[in-house]
Chain A
Amino acid sequence: MTDITGWPYESGRGFNFRFTKRKLIALACIAASIAVPPLLFRSTPFLPSHIALNIAVGVSFILMALSLNVLLGYAGQISLGHGAFLGVGAFASGLLTSKPQLPVLVGLLVAAVVGALFALVLGVPALRLRGLYLAVTTIAFAFMMEESLFRWEPLTGGSAGLELPRPLAGTFAFSQHADYLAFLLVFLVGFWLFDQNITRTKIGRAFNAIRWDEKVAQGFGVPVASYKILAFVLSGALAAVAGALYGHLIGFINSESFAFKSQPNYSLLLVIIVVIGGLGSRSGVAVAALFYALLPRFLEFLQGWEMIVGAVALIDVMARHPGGIAGAVRQRAEKRGEKKARGDLSSTDDDELPKLPKLPRPAGLPERPEILTGSALLEVHDISVTFGGLKAVDEAALTVHQGQIVGLIGPNGAGKTTLFNAISGFVKPEGGSAKFLGRELMDLPPHARARLGIGRTFQQIGLTKDLSVNENFLLAQHVAADYPVPKGLLYTASAGGSERAMRKRATDAIEALGFEAFTDTPVRNLSHGQQRLVELGCVLVTAPELLLLDEPSAGMSPAAVENLGERLREIRDDLGRTVLLIEHHIPLVLDVCDYIYVLNFGKVLAHGTTEEIARQPEVIGAYFGEAVA
């Protein structure tokens, strides 16, 4: 029944055409960066060097904003004190390059490391803090730096600051602004490529999932804590380098350069740039950063106004986004997707749900023990969950055997979803155990349980709704992305190969669903039924052994529910999976389930085969008041 062989996907051998093309473009950009500014500014008497200086400041702002974008725009972690990282990087580089006169590149490297370390220090408490408290912590951190470390005279020169010299290549000094602008642009290309590597690998997708809903991320096997720290570390390192580059441009940094009271307040200005201009996209962030850097410098009458406009815009953006910062920072270009989907959306017919795809188990997943048909896949004993005095789940126990569809029914508030959450790991029960394939789940964090082969759907649809269908399918394959993060950041051949395999799988899955037209549509633009299908497809794409489905039929028409029933049977019969199903739709339950558990007040009141339960209409009727069809 089970099919363990995976698709044969190409290994990283050989050149991928896209990789080469990207390399060429990158090289061309680097060449242009090196050549154009010096030519432009040296040969023309009409371009005074302070224009090169202003543009270089603009490029520095872009680098700074990109660093915050990784943390806030992608991972949704609010940082109101990013100026601290800018300062850390600038001072670290300054310390090494001013008196010891080490090369600037060494200073930048050390700045990156120091920035990463400080971000690590901030990231660890950040794991336990959400939203508002995280924001307060980042401000406290920035203040601590500002009032203490940055003022320490032996380290930073106090109010006199440190001198940050221009780089030296042999005897050639980058003292001309145009030359340093070239230097900066090369770094910009580097930052851009790095950022691209984040967004086109599992790293960026994981960040976006975390931003949208951590449970969804966990459900797809993303280790949320590790990735949050990763986001902080990457952002901190990039910010430190950006701050150092800016410092070397200006030449002097002191304790007030990145302080809260100074003009500009970099911490908050970057938040404005990322939230308003960024909208989650690299280029948006870049344009907004340039706007803020250049407009007041070139148009003097605008000085001061750009902050007023920015502040008002920030208030406005926040006010218009009920989805909060998660929604505010990322709204993709929907026009294109909307147009495409519109024709299809209008003729949405939930009755006609396409078939679910057959997806064999992909390679690259941890080995699972041989599973005998009929053996106990999931064994739950004595799980109790208490919420503030109320026992939501009371010593519940159930067993799911391989190859079954087991139904979990009960009235609203019976504790069904809570039980699911206990099994998934989103809620901590008091005592009890849940064994999956003989492994105790209670020792594992939620993402590890997912990696074992448990797939989960959610009542509110467990997808990252502002990402496209395709990206959700890629996200869902997180456990199959078997390259380590550093290789992903560098987009090595093995990472590339893994990504290509996942893309192929995603494309196949979308085709099987018949949703090619929706490939780039954000999920939230689909109808509820379509979202549900995408969700099911995503859950299946890594071929988990056990599916926990939470009210999959909610919001569907009767005909669609019947269709769903067929799909569920296919999952059991053709794909050989096991399903544990929370449902309110009794006919569906009686139709597809092999075994039923009845839950109320957190307790398992009755359980048995479908026939046994069906023979007790009082059980069902008492709770649902319906006669059995």
Chain B
Amino acid sequence: MGRLLEIRGVFVVVLLAMFVGAACSGGPAPSAADPAESPGQIVDNGDSGKIGGGKLGKGKGKSSGKKGGGSGGTSSGGSSGGGGVPADATDGSTVSATGQKVSEKQQAERARRLAKGLPTVNMWPQSTAQMGFTDDAITLCGHAALTFAEAFDTRPEDINVYWSMVNDNGGVYGRDVHLTIEDDAYRPDNAVQAAERCKAKNPFMLIGGIGFDQIPAVRAWNEQEQNRLLYVHHIARQDLSKKYSFSFLPTVEQSGRLAARWILAKHKSDKIGVIWRQSEAWEPGHKTFLASMKSAGKGLVADLPVQKDQAVYTQQIAELKAQGAKTVFVWENGLAAIELIKQAKQQDYHPTWVVFPFQIMTDTLKEEMLNPPVEGIAMWPAYVPGATSGPFAPYAAEIARYEEAQRKYGRAQKGNDILWMTWLAMKQVHQWLLDCGPNCDRNRMVALLISGRHKAVAPNCPFNFKANQHVGGFLGNIFKATNVSGYGPGWVQTNTCVRI
């Protein structure tokens, strides 16, 4: 017992030592901003009102093979960046977002043209507008459910394949792009903590992965932060009060509406049921689904709430069967849908399921997905490993590029749909960075969005930020589970970029 007291004393000493050690080990890497400022503050240099160009300061002049010298080009309109960042492109070449080898100077010229007449955005003061964007590196950080990484066969190394490829080919205006992912464990409280860890790295952009529940939490957190991050996220419910959040994809509300439109278009004569997750973040989609159904005069025979991780859907299946529902909209995540479909099969119940289509479903349930074929509403193009013909032909080249990069840079060395989605998202970000130019800052990134000058990169569906400055998505794809020759059951795209 006395020994335990001594051990307690040792703990106290160790804790204190750790605290001191952490304190003395220095904070995060110096950011592009003035190192004398601590990152968490907004410092008003008194310049924030300044518009217009003016010469930028000379670069820090780090010598390396890639860097050129020269004075910076200016951009008219928009706020100029802070000092210390070379403003010009190098003489080197890089890869464009569409995969061609291009010269940086060309890209820079294009960016200059895009920058003319851009609307003024002053969301970030000059001192922090370029945080995360330095001479050598662009820092990106994201939160995602790494907890499910194994289940979905996506490891952090695989997620970074796009940027590994870009960095290998010259980077973005001579800078390496570093992306790290923090685990949010598919929960909002963990997501906020993951965002905190990201923030400690002073990222240029915070990226939010899939998670209806997590994204609103991080959005709210971001909005309260003194130094708000540029938060770009996956599908979430609409919230225009969050000024620092942007999504290229449609909202949760729109997703519900798309599902309703699709079902009304294809299955209007069936009895319809819906299974929906009880969550404030999912509810808007359920509501829009019901509203769309109602305004089309179509009633539902079953409207059944379920819990996250409910795992056992016996009662819901029994109810759906009893009501004779022939088409069921599953407003729950992929893993839950797998459990639901599987359990329904065991009960000899085979409606047409309309789900969020993930590869893990077709890989797990295989033929059970085909009778009748499960349908999916998706905000990304369909992907089946190795499939490049038929519905995949329009973007077969991109698939080939992606799979080759996975083989070359990825740990798993094979593709799956989550990594494919990530690839396409990063591709879009790449284009965005290229559009922004060598002296990019976050104000300009936003300005490019709301001016409509930043366009979607195929095969991503077009987006439009002019109407709604924070949500650009307004189109979706429809998938169908089909037997893909050479692979087996997989998701195939039947309708592309459908208006919601």
Contact = CB atoms under 8 A, between A and B. Distances in A.
Chain A–chain B contact at Cβ < 8 A: yes
Interface of A: 42, 44-51, 53, 55, 147, 151-153, 157-161, 163, 165-166, 173, 175-176, 250-257, 262-263, 277, 279, 284, 287-288, 290-291, 294-295, 298-299, 331, 333-335
A256 B308 contact: yes
A480 B397 CA distance: 89
Interface string B271-288: 000000111111100000
Contacts of B25: 46
Interface of B: 1-2, 4-5, 8, 11-12, 15, 18-19, 22-28, 35-36, 38-40, 185, 187-189, 191-193, 196-197, 199-200, 212-213, 216-217, 220-221, 224-226, 277-283, 307-309
A42 B38 CA distance: 8
Contacts of B221: 251-252
A159 B225 CA distance: 24
A151 B307 contact: yes
Contacts of B11: 287-288, 290-291
A114 B222 CA distance: 30
B189 A161 contact: yes
A49 B24 CA distance: 14
Nearest to A49: B40
A254 B188 contact: yes
Contact of A253 (B189, B278, B283): B189
B26 A46 contact: yes
A446 to B, nearest CB: 33
Contacts of A151: 278, 307-308
A46 B27 contact: yes
B226 A277 contact: no
A176 B188 contact: no
A50 B197 contact: yes
A184 B197 CA distance: 21
Contacts of A254: 187-189, 213
5 nearest CB pairs, A to B: A160-B281, A158-B279, A157-B280, A159-B308, A159-B279
Contact of A298 (B2, B4, B22, B217): B22
Contact of A176 (B189, B226, B281, B309): B226
Contacts of A47: 23, 27
Contacts of B2: 334-335
A153, A166, A252, A277 interface centre (most CB from chain B within 10 Å): A252
Contact of A251 (B5, B38, B187, B220): B220
B267 to A, nearest CB: 28
A622 to B, nearest CB: 50
B24 A50 contact: no
A257 B193 CA distance: 13
A163 B278 contact: no
A44 B308 CA distance: 43
Contact of B308 (A42, A158, A251, A333): A158
Contacts of B8: 277, 284, 287-288
B213 A160 contact: yes
A294 B189 contact: no
Contacts of B308: 151, 158-159, 255-256
Nearest to A253: B189
10 contacts: A48-B28, A50-B197, A158-B279, A159-B282, A160-B188, A175-B225, A250-B192, A251-B224, A290-B11, A298-B19
A159 B28 contact: no
Contacts of B283: 153, 158
Contacts of B22: 51, 298
A85 B91 CA distance: 63
A225 B24 CA distance: 53
Contact of B217 (A165, A166, A252): A252
Given A175-B225, A252-B189, A298-B18, A50 B196 contact: yes
A145 to B, nearest CB: 14
A342 B191 CA distance: 57
Given A48-B200, A161-B189, A252-B221, 8 more contacts: A49-B200, A160-B280, A250-B189, A256-B187, A257-B189, A288-B8, A299-B18, A334-B1
Given A151-B278, A256-B308, A160 B216 contact: yes
